[in-house]
Amino acid sequence: MPTTSEPNERITAYGLELIDIHDRLREQLTRLRADIEAHLDGAGPPPRDLPTHCLAFCTALQRHHTAEDDHAFTALARQHPDLAPVLDVLRRDHGLVGDMLRRLPDLIAELPAAAGDPARAARLLSTVDGLFALLESHFTYEERKLVAALNRLDAGGATTAYLLGVDPDA
């Protein structure tokens, strides 16, 4: 039975850390959407930190997906070749998410005009909701398919930040 001092404990944390990263990203997107909706509902001007929040969210998500593509998925494919079709789906999702993220700052810039235009407001919220739905589907699929393999991964001493693109100070 492993003890807390055995190396296996650190390896097991990779799958659990993935879930934690996804939960933090879910929370950030939920806050982003709530800030947008509050403004559109007439709760005042757009929050001053909304563009910064959007940029921070987009950057964190892109860093996470890049690390997965470049490091975690490579290690998983080497040790679990049967996961190749799953990894292909996840990489495709990363491309779709990246396309949506590139549009998000422009949509946030439209927020003041959208507040007075119900059609624009609906498009803005629809885009954010589409991103949320895509990410939730992606995260859920990834967690279901990869957590067990990540928990068994021999990462050769690689850090969670390296494999999963998480800022250890976040």
Position 68 confidence tier, pLDDT thresholds 50, 70, 90: very high
Which pLDDT tens digit goes with each residue over 128-162?
A: 898 889 999 999 999 999 998 988 888 777 777 77
Measure Cα distances from 22 to 119, 122, 140 in Å: 31, 26, 9
User: Residue 53 pLDDT more than 80?
Assistant: no
Position 48 confidence tier, pLDDT thresholds 50, 70, 90: low
Q: Identify the DSSP state of 45.
A: S
Distance CA 104, CA 49 (A): 15
Max Cα-Cα span within the chain: 63
Whole-prediction pTM: 0.82
58 burial (CB, 10 Å; 0-12 / 13-18 / 19+) is buried
Pick the CATH number of 8-164 from 2.60.40, 1.10.533, 1.10.760, 1.20.120: 1.20.120
**CA nearest to 11, candidates 151, 169, 125:** 151
User: Residue 25 pLDDT more than 70?
Assistant: yes
Residue type, 27: E
Residue ranges of the domains in the chain?
8-164
Which pLDDT tens digit goes with each residue over 91-130?
A: 999 999 998 888 888 877 888 788 778 888 888 888 889 8
Sign of torsion over alpha carbons 18, 24, 25, 26: positive
Q: Identify the DSSP state of 157.
A: T
Assigned token pair, 148:
């067990």
| pLDDT in the model for residue 3 | 38
Task: Report the share of the chain in percent with pLDDT over 70.
Answer: 86
The strand ranges marked E within 22-122 are none
